[in-house]
Amino acid sequence: MNRFRVLLTTALLIALSGLGLRAASAADSTAGHCVGASGAAAPAVRAAAAPVTVWLAGDSTMANPSGGRCPVGWGSQFDALFNGDVTVRNQAVGGRSIQTWLYEGNVSGTKGSDGECRLTSSTYSSRWQGMLNASTGMKAGDYLFIQFGINDSSSTCPRHVGPARYQQLMTMMVKAALARGAHPVLLTPVAAITCSGSTATKNRGFVNETFAAGSAAGAPVVDLQTLSVSLYNSLRFCPHNGDFGSGPVGAFFCDDRTHFDTYGAQRIAALVAGDVRRQNLPLAAYLK
């Protein structure tokens, strides 16, 4: 009888021990799944997105307003489309070609034998020097948006820039951004409003040169001329009676059919942001 009791007690202890081990194993497994979901392999709280500066280089169609209702460059409306981790530094200046923007004050009024406006000095403008500054300028992860091609079409100096020179200078800017770890984005020049009957038409040059510069360096291109003309057609801006100061066209443009009112600048900025998203550029993650 005593021997039977001993055997029964031993069997019960072994059974209880097995249950304990299985319970411990289940608990460990559950803990392991929790660590896998929110532990070292996948932190419960993601690190905050790194702040990004978006630098803008361009002309009056991109520039901040200098006062009054018109003109308002689309770059002044760009910041509002991003979350608080993005800072837009708009360095666009009215009346500038890519060369006068880069070499402010050092582009002469005469052409050389190559047909290009002569440089009196190769010293960069203070705005470009500032963007190249190692401490306060473009840094790794930043973006540089470049849009010229409107004033560059002038036949006279200092604005005139030939197609080959335009592509050369744009490529130089792209390489400078890449050397600092920044991401260049090129834009074809935004269109003015011109109509052929009931259809808005393209009216800017340097499109091929912009795409060539982007292709050579692997930089994305936003075809803002095509996007803007498509927008004008969707808004049925054509035909019109030539009065650029009233109606839907007057609410979008200044009375020169080239520069934008605030509403127009907002719509153009939205086109650029939309193409950033369409091309799935990393900057799109910061859009609202």
C-alpha angle 50-52-57 in degrees, rounded to nearest 5: 170
When mean pLDDT is compared across 27-31, 96-100, 170-174, 267-271, the lowest value belongs to 27-31
Whether 27 is covered by a domain: the verdict is: no
Q: Which domain holds residue 79?
A: 52-192+202-234+265-286
d(CA 241, CA 247): 10
CA atoms in the 13 A half-sphere facing the CB of 221: 22
Does residue 246 sit within a domain? no
Whether residue 241 lies inside any domain: the answer is no
In a domain? residue 96: yes
Provide the pLDDT confidence category of residue 10 given band limits of 50, 70 and 90: very low
User: Mean pLDDT over residues 191-213, rounded?
Assistant: 97
- Greatest pairwise CA separation for the chain in angstroms: 122
Render pLDDT for 25-79 as a digit per residue (tens, 0 to 9): 444 444 344 333 333 433 333 345 789 999 999 999 999 998 878 999 999 999 9
Look at residue 3 and tell me whether its pLDDT is greater than 50. no
Domain harbouring 209, CATH code: 3.40.50.1110
pLDDT at residue 2 greater than cutoff 50: no
pLDDT in tens, 148-199: 999 999 999 999 999 999 999 999 999 999 999 999 999 999 999 999 999 9
Q: Output the pLDDT for position 24.
A: 39
In Å, how far are 177, 187, 236, 284 from 146, measured between CA atoms? Answer: 11, 6, 29, 17
Tokens (6 digits) for 127: 């705005």
Structural domains of the chain, count = 1
Query: What is d(CA 32, CA 35) in angstroms, rounded to the nearest whole number?
Result: 5
